[in-house]
Amino acid sequence: MSRDRRANTPAVARPGATGVVVRRAVRREPTIANRIVSVIDRSAIHFVLALVALIWLVPTVGLLITSFRPRSDIQATGWWDIAQLHLTSENYQQVLQAQGMFEAFLNTVFIAVPSTLLPLAICSLAAYAFSWMNFPFRDTIFLIIVGLLMVPVQVAFIPVLTLFRELVPQLELTRGYVAIWLAHTAFALPFGIFLLRNFFITLPGEMIEASRIDGASDVQIFRSVILPVTVPAIAAYGIFQFLWVWNDLLMALVFVQDSSKYPMTRAVLNLLSQYGTEWHLLAAGAFLVMVVPVIVFFSLQRYFVQGLLAGSIK
């Protein structure tokens, strides 16, 4: 009884050795009712999040199961019929070998990697210039770049394609990867410069000025000072760009005109046109397109979250 009375006793003011009143706070243990309410609140939030994640994953799980089911089972029952579930890897073997999906996978890699690295390099340098370098019409040029975000990329497809064909017709840019590399890089610059510049400008100016006083050039400042502290923002933009390029179909239809250079998205489109009812092949091909972005996202999730939060707190 005395212990409970001491636990509920409020803070008491007592004189110290120097005559100064010292308040001694007594820690109160949470009651059973408070603990139950706290557990219920956390459980409700976790339940809602788990439900949203489950609903979000249902199509992916259905696609994965369908990609391993034989054609006869797909036509007879749904993928959720666990009692008659038979799995096989023949769908993936047929798609990769007979339908040329492996070559399309390599083409997608050859398209996605340069189309991600080029905008990363150019946008990082341009963002540093717009943030910490002084040159004529700097703000005006930046506003023009921001204004380009409002222009739909589809509007520029025909002019850019005509430019590639008529400017250097002997190079046949659309017969290889160069045309789609340049197209993806050009259309990614406005958003990349805008995103990275807004992060670069939040860096402490004293850090840049101290480097300049020490005699460092802009290239040295960018390489030794800016890059180490901006890795999360650059990685987040790199993930966005890679996923955009990997899942792109429209630019592949316009700027890749050699059938041997088709990416996976266009190869899946060919499967759809040739095998409109072959759902087992379509599911296998679609899941092959999905698996690499999922791996990239979960592998770089830490940088992605840090990049989203970068610049939000000064």
Q: Across all residues in the chain, what is the average pLDDT? A: 78
Q: How many percent of the chain have pLDDT more than 70?
A: 79
- Mean pLDDT is lowest, of 21-25, 29-33, 177-181, for 21-25
Burial class (CB in 10 A: 0-12, 13-18, 19+), 249: middle
pTM of the model: 0.74
Q: Examine the pLDDT at 30 and tell me if it is beyond 70.
A: no
The per-residue pLDDT for 310 is 55
Q: Examine the pLDDT at 200 and tell me if it is beyond 80.
A: yes
- Contact between 196 and 121 (Cβ < 8 Å): no
Cα gap 160→174, rounded to integer Å: 11
For Cα atoms 254, 289, 190, give the angle at the middle one, nearest 5 degrees.
50
Cα gap 130→17, rounded to integer Å: 61
Task: Tell me how crowded residue 95 is: count the other CB atoms within 10 A of its CB.
Answer: 27
Q: What are the helix (H) ranges across 133-156?
A: 138-147
- Contact between 212 and 134 (Cβ < 8 Å): no
| 215 Rama class: left (phi>0) / alpha (psi -120 to 50) / beta | left
Average pLDDT on 189-208 reads 87
SS3 177: coil
The CATH number of the domain covering residues in 93-309:
1.10.3720.10
> By C-alpha distance, which of 246, 247, 197 is closest to 226?
197
Here the tokens at position 267 are 């190869």
257 or 125: which leads in pLDDT = 125
Q: What are the structural domain ranges in the chain? A: 34-88, 93-309
